[in-house]
């Protein structure tokens, strides 16, 4: 099973739609968004017809209820899900992500906020920032994780 991890889309509708279109084409059934969507209407426009599950950890720029999209589960500080045999946590904030990784309770911890793609191993946990979809400070990127192959990949949006 593959999951897509995105963060910091900051109302960039063209980039978010391009990423979601690719995710749908690849038949990825779970999207984790690590916060800073910004506007719930932009989120709805890009993800409204996505049939998979969507998990969102609110960021510092996320206002509103975001309850307008079916299949969306929202977390305030951090969320956690099991993807087959992997325990996954996600948050917007690097400090919280680091604390979660240090607990070594999770196989993967995803976060956003600083827009910089990054992977670090903390004990048995991979601490991962998928970068940002807004294309601010760094190229627009997101990540995928293939549970069967235990493979994490960074996707550069302009190359899709």
pLDDT at 66: 66
What are the structure tokens assigned to 140, written together? 């627009």
- Give the count of domains, the chain: 1
Closest C-alpha among 137, 125, 119 to residue 36: 137
Instruction: With a cut of 90, say whether residue 68 has pLDDT above it.
Output: no
Cβ atoms of residues 140 and 13 within 8 Å: no
Which structural domain range is residue 63 located in?
2-159
Classify 23 as helix, strand or coil: helix
Give, to the nearest 10 degrees, the angle between helix 13-25 and helix 40-47: 30
Q: What would the DSSP string read from start to end of 97-157? A: HHHHHHTT--SEEE--SS---EEEEETTEEEEE--BSS-SSS-BEEEEEETTTTEEEEEEG
Distance of alpha carbon 23 from the chain centroid: 12
78: left (phi over 0), alpha (psi -120 to 50) or beta: beta
Here the CATH number for the domain that contains residue 111 is 3.60.21.10
Across the chain, what does the average pLDDT equal? 93
Q: Which residue has the tokens 């063209």?
A: 14
Q: What is the pLDDT of residues 36-46, one digit of tens each?
A: 988 888 888 88
Q: What is the pLDDT of residues 1-47, one digit of tens each?
A: 899 999 999 999 999 999 999 999 999 999 999 999 888 888 888 88
Q: What is the pLDDT of residues 49-59, one digit of tens each?
A: 899 999 999 98
Instruction: With a cut of 90, say whether residue 61 has pLDDT above it.
Output: no
Overall pTM > 0.75: yes
């Amino acid at each position: 099973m593959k999951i897509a991890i995105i963060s910091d889309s900051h109302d960039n509708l063209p980039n978010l739609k391009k990423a979601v279109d690719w995710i749908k084409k690849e038949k990825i059934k779970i999207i984790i968004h690590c916060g800073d969507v910004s506007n719930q209407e932009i989120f709805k426009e890009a993800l409204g017809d996505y049939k998979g599950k969507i998990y969102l950890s609110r960021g510092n720029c996320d206002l509103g209820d975001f309850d307008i999209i079916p299949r969306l589960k929202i977390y305030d500080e951090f969320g956690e899900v099991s993807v087959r045999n992997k325990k996954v946590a996600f948050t917007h904030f690097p400090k919280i992500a680091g604390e979660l990784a240090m607990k070594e309770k999770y196989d993967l911890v995803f976060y956003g906020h600083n827009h910089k793609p990054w992977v670090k191993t903390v004990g048995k946990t991979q601490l991962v920032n998928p970068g940002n979809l807004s294309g601010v400070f760094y190229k627009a990127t997101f990540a995928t994780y293939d549970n069967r192959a235990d493979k994490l990949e960074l996707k550069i949006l302009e190359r899709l």
